[in-house]
Structure formats: C-alpha cells, structure tokens
Amino acid sequence: MLPTSPCSARADVTCTEAEASACKMQLDHKKVSHRSSRSWRELSEAADPKMRSVLIVDDEYDSRRALEILLQLHGFQVTAAAGGEEALAVLHERTFDVILTDWMMPVVSGAEVISRVRADRLAEGVPIIVLTAAFEAVRSAAPQGVRVIGKPLEFRALLQTLNEIVPQ
C-alpha cells in the first residue's frame, strides 16, 4: 500500500464547549482517499521539523482518518498505517514522536506491533498509546510503559495525553 499524503478532502468537524470532549465528524469519502507515489522517506523529509510527529495504526478506515484529520488540525504531522504490517514497514523507514495503535486488528495486532517494535528496536524511547474498545482487558495485558485509552475515544483526553508525553 502506498503512503497517504495531504489532500484537499472535505471534513466537517463540529465541537462545542458544552459537549467538552464530543466531536461530530462528517467525511466526504470520495475526496479523502488520495494516494501519493512519494515514499515515506520523501514525505517525512518534507514535513515541518518543528511539528510533533505521530504514527496512527488502525485497520478501521473511518477511525484512522478521523484521528488523522483531528490531529492535523491540532498541529501534528501525521502518518497513517492501515494495519500492523504497514506500520512496521513505516517504522523501518523513519521515527516518530509518538505511536497510536489500535489493539484489535487482523493479521498483526496492536500487541504484536508493540512486541516487534521493542524486539527489533524500531522506536526506542518512543511513547506508545493503545486505543481500544476493550479498555479493562487491554489495560491489564498491555506491556509496561504503554498507555491505554478507551474507545469511544474522547479526543480532548487524547490531546491532553499527547501534550503530556510529547510537549510542543
């Protein structure tokens, strides 16, 4: 799979103060899926070095894309991977300030991604955050030093966690 690159997709994001952490997103899927022939290395070299970089790993397109858009709107340089295998390939090419991974994915799970990242020393010292609907079960099974955030995701809580572990 080729890397995604920024495109002129339409995303309507509505957040209100009264809802605190609730955001409603409407994506125009026809315009969102843009592919680039540029390599991961070329994309990372073109990124603003002052921006915090994040790798999002999620097999669910809507979740991955929503996170990608929201984090970009908050000043992150985002690379998205559609699964564990793709994430591991990307991590062989470049490093990130933080990795966000889903736990339950087909083929290569979030647990396997973390295990291989650590065994192969692909991202030493890089914080890893697991996003999962099975919060309690994963929290007790997650490797040491990995943060776990439950789904449905409270975006403001995620931003607070990201700002704590990767200051601007």
- DSSP secondary structure, 73-141, as one string: HTTEEEEEESSHHHHHHHHHH---SEEEEES--SSS-HHHHHHHHHHTTSSTT--EEEEES-HHHHHHH
- The answer to which of 89-103, 122-136, 138-152 has the lowest mean pLDDT is 138-152
Distances (CA, A) of 96 to 22, 92, 105, 158: 27, 11, 21, 17
CATH of domain 35-165: 3.40.50.2300
pTM of the model: 0.71
pLDDT band of 3, cuts 50, 70, 90: very low
Read off the pLDDT of each residue in 117-137 and give the average, rounded to a whole number: 88
CB 104 within 8 A of CB 150: no
CA pair distance 43, 11, nearest whole angstrom? 22
Contact call for residues 91 and 62 (beta carbons, < 8 A) = no
Note the pLDDT of residue 51: 87
